[in-house]
Amino acid sequence: MKLTPQLLYKRLFENFGRQHWWPMDKQYHKKNNSDPRFEIIIGAILTQNTAWSNVEKALYNLKQANMMDIKKISNIDKKSLQEMIKPSGFFNQKAERLKNIASYLQKNYNGDLNNFFNQDLYKIREELLSLNGIGPETADSILLYAGYKPLFVADAYTKRICKRLPLNTNISYDEIQQYFQYNISKHYSENETIQIYNELHALIVELAKNYCKKKPECNKCPLEENCNYKFVLFE
């Protein structure tokens, strides 16, 4: 049976279970009456080119300073922000990107994420992509996990897996995203589709981190029988 995005989701979910992604500190936001969606936005920027464990350290610093707030991030001086997010790496660039998006949301939406997300999906996406340092993967992570919008995030791990199985020979971001969305949306309602995009992205990350690494561990992989790369690797 040919492996499709729908079958990939089912196989990975059977093996790894629910991933509970995007992680956020609900207790912090309840205590501080803050919007947890902004933590997701911050995390989506901080996770660029680094491991999530490093992002967690930076998020901890921001919470200790009670900075999980659009207005506070837009007003804080850049050097102080850089120091807080230093564990995430590339902290000069990321501080500027955080301030850019916070200032944009504050200026154009008065810091209200309901006003921001309650618009046409592709209008919001264009706005995000217009901001310096926010590419398709970061924008779509924000839209899926913070905005609960029906967009699949085709990250580097997805490209690797698509190429190796092969699941799809086209490996540009847009081509992979459209391929996954076309297949999955045929089988599920919009709400189900959003939840599947949420889980599938996280499940692919789990697969790539543990099995389909740069140097893969094919013999342990749950997709071993479907993968052509194994035969190329060991022939």
pTM of the model: 0.94
Per-residue pLDDT tens digits for 128-144: 999 999 999 999 999 99
What is the rounded CA–CA span in Å between residue 139 and residue 196? 18
29 within a domain of the structure (yes/no): no
- The total number of structural domains that make up the chain: 2
Of 119, 146, 173, which marks where a domain is finished? 146
| Domain end residue (candidates: 121, 146, 171) | 146
**In terms of domains, do 216 and 137 share one?**
no
Average pLDDT, the chain: 93
Check pLDDT > 50 for residue 85: yes
**Which of 131, 146, 161 marks a domain boundary?**
146
pLDDT, tens only, 20-71: 999 999 999 999 999 999 999 999 999 999 999 999 999 999 999 999 999 9
- Asked whether residue 165 falls in the same domain as residue 65, the answer is no
**Domain shared by 61 and 119, yes or no:** yes
Q: Which domain CATH number covers 76?
A: 1.10.340.30
Contact 51, 28 (CB under 8 A): no
| 187 found inside a domain | yes
Burial class (CB in 10 A: 0-12, 13-18, 19+), 36: middle
Residues 55 and 90 occupy one common structural domain:
yes
Residue 234 has pLDDT above 50, yes or no: no
Q: How many CB atoms lie within 10 A of CB 27?
A: 8
164 secondary structure, DSSP code: H
Burial of 80 (0-12, 13-18, 19+ CB in 10 A): exposed
Question: Alpha helices, DSSP H only, in the chain?
Answer: 5-16, 26-32, 36-46, 52-64, 70-75, 78-84, 91-109, 113-117, 121-129, 136-141, 156-164, 173-185, 190-210, 229-234
Domain containing 71 equals: 34-146
